[in-house]
């Protein structure tokens, strides 16, 4: 008889292992120790990478001495937001926490747990009202490029003031952009308004104060345009004007550069300020460098630096939006190449990139304003110079660039650079103005001087 022996095989087990570096916490809102926080605040954590939404339930919590706060958690990219189900209690300290049970979308656990505290305002909730508007109600002969502004009785939630809640219309809606800072909201039409036309401005009850309280009634007023265009107004920089270089993800430098003015970086940490040979001040609130006549600040430095930088970065973004929303006086000049030209004050717009292959002159007075709106990249060729004449000032020149900015070797630019991505200064390039990047600024033996 033929005997056949069968061996029982152990079941094959497939293990899927989470791999990669542990995610970290880049920043929190409010910052640790913050006071005077609104009763309906944004409570958020920005991580170094996107997190798995399901892992945040029960791991991202907010509580006071009275117990846990009910709320919902949402995610946007690498940021998680806790929204309380009801307004928080006045004059109360809250603790927000995240545990290591939170994981990235790759399944890797958070490297270190974090808790931070903040205290709500002691001010009773009031209903916001409109205290003024511009143009005035029933105004006539309003300039075709006039900004439309509404000022409230208290600070407002900028997220609730937008193209839906703040509108301008005649027979049809006017296209434009809305920005809000503290107690003022501004509507900027994307084109000059038609002459001799009546317009209606409406701010709806969906607009809310920073404390989360809505307007009691819609605010409505009317005005009529004339036929004139007024000189442009400078772009408001807010607290960002304290810096000559301001970036979100890094400021790198190949020595030796000469920087006159302060340098700010947020939400990235001080380790992303490279090539400066930093020396930390005893307060740990700022650093110094032999290459900087001023101070260098980063988001992980001691208080009050993190809060100041958060505000400055926010104001930088608002300035970019303001500049991008101005109505254009000239469009597509030179098909995106303006070398050799002398330009008067005004708002210039390109739907493409903008190149400066040869020298450019900006001619005007000390009160004239230039705004260059560039939908793609701004490139200044090697050795090319932008020169101001007639008393024109670099603080009144604004380069609003949706793409990247590159200043070629030994080139020179005048003005405030508001860049949505990265700013690169090649070897020996110089800037009289400010370099504000929503990603990084890269320097290489440059001279940057505040306006």
Q: What is the per-residue pLDDT across 113-152, written as a single tens digit (0 to 9) for each? A: 999 999 988 777 788 999 999 999 999 999 999 889 999 9
Low-confidence ranges of the chain (pLDDT < 70): 1-19
Q: Kindly state the DSSP code that residue 194 receives in the 8-state scheme.
A: P
Q: Domain segments of the chain: what residues?
A: 25-120, 130-225, 238-449
Q: Kindly state the DSSP code that residue 357 receives in the 8-state scheme.
A: -
pLDDT, residue 3, reads 42
Helix (H) or strand (E) holding 296: strand 292-298
pLDDT, residue 21, reads 86
pLDDT tens profile 36-65: 887 878 899 999 999 999 999 999 999 999
Residue 196 has a CB neighbour count (10 Å cut-off) of: 11
pLDDT, residue 192, reads 92
Strand partners, 369: none
Q: Kindly state the DSSP code that residue 69 receives in the 8-state scheme.
A: P
Q: Which CATH architecture has domain 130-225?
A: Sandwich (2.60)
* Alpha-carbon Rg for the chain in angstroms: 26
pLDDT, residue 19, reads 56
Residue 396 backbone phi and psi in degrees, to 5: -105, 15
Query: What are the structure tokens assigned to 297, written together?
Result: 């600040």
Q: Residue 53 region, left (φ>0) first, then alpha (ψ -120 to 50), else beta?
A: alpha
Taking the whole predicted model, whether its pTM rises above 0.75 is answered as: no
Residue 314 backbone phi and psi in degrees, to 5: -60, -45
Residue 55 backbone phi and psi in degrees, to 5: -80, -10
Fold of 25-120: Immunoglobulin-like (2.60.40)
């Amino acid at each position: 008889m033929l005997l056949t022996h069968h061996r029982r095989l152990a079941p094959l087990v497939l293990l899927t292992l989470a791999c990669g570096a542990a995610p970290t916490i880049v920043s929190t809102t409010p910052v640790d120790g913050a006071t005077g926080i609104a009763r309906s605040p944004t409570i958020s954590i920005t991580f170094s990478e996107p997190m798995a939404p399901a892992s945040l339930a029960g791991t991202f919590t907010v509580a006071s001495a009275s117990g846990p706060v009910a709320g919902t958690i949402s995610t946007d990219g690498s940021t998680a937001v806790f929204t309380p189900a009801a307004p928080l209690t006045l004059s109360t300290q809250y603790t927000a926490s995240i545990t290591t049970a939170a994981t990235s979308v790759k399944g890797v656990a958070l490297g270190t747990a974090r808790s931070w505290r903040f205290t709500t305002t002691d001010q009773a909730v009031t209903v916001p009202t409109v205290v003024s508007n511009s143009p005035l109600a029933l105004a006539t002969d309003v300039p075709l490029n006039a900004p439309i502004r509404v000022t409230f009785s208290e600070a407002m939630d900028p997220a609730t003031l937008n193209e839906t809640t703040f509108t301008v219309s005649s027979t049809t809606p006017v296209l434009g952009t809305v920005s809000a800072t503290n107690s003022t909201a501004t509507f900027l039409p994307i084109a000059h308004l038609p002459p001799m036309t009546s317009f209606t401005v409406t701010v709806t009850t969906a607009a809310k104060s920073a404390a989360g309280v809505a307007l009691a009634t819609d605010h409505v007023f009317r005005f009529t345009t004339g036929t004139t265009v007024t000189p442009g107004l400078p772009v408001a920089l807010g607290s960002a004007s304290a810096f000559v270089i301001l970036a979100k993800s890094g400021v790198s430098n190949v020595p030796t550069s000469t920087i006159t003015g302060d340098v700010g970086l947020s939400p990235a940490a001080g380790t992303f300020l490279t090539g400066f040979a930093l020396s930390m001040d005893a307060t740990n609130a700022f650093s110094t460098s032999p290459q900087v006549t001023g101070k260098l600040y980063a988001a992980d430095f001691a208080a009050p630096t993190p809060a100041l930088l958060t505000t400055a970065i926010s104001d930088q973004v608002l300035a970019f939006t303001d500049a991008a929303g101005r109505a254009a006086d000239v469009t597509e000049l030179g098909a995106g190449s303006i070398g050799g030209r002398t330009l008067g004050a005004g708002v210039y717009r390109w739907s493409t990139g903008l190149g400066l292959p040869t020298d450019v002159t900006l001619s005007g007075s000390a009160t004239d304003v230039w705004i260059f709106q560039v939908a793609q990249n701004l490139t200044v060729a090697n050795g090319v110079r932008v020169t101001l004449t007639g008393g024109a000032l670099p603080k009144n020149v604004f380069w609003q660039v949706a793409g990247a900015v590159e200043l070629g070797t030994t080139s020179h630019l005048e003005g405030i650079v508001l860049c949505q991505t990265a700013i690169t200064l090649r070897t020996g390039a110089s800037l009289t103005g400010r370099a504000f990047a929503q990603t990084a600024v890269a320097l290489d033996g440059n001279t940057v001087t505040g306006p």
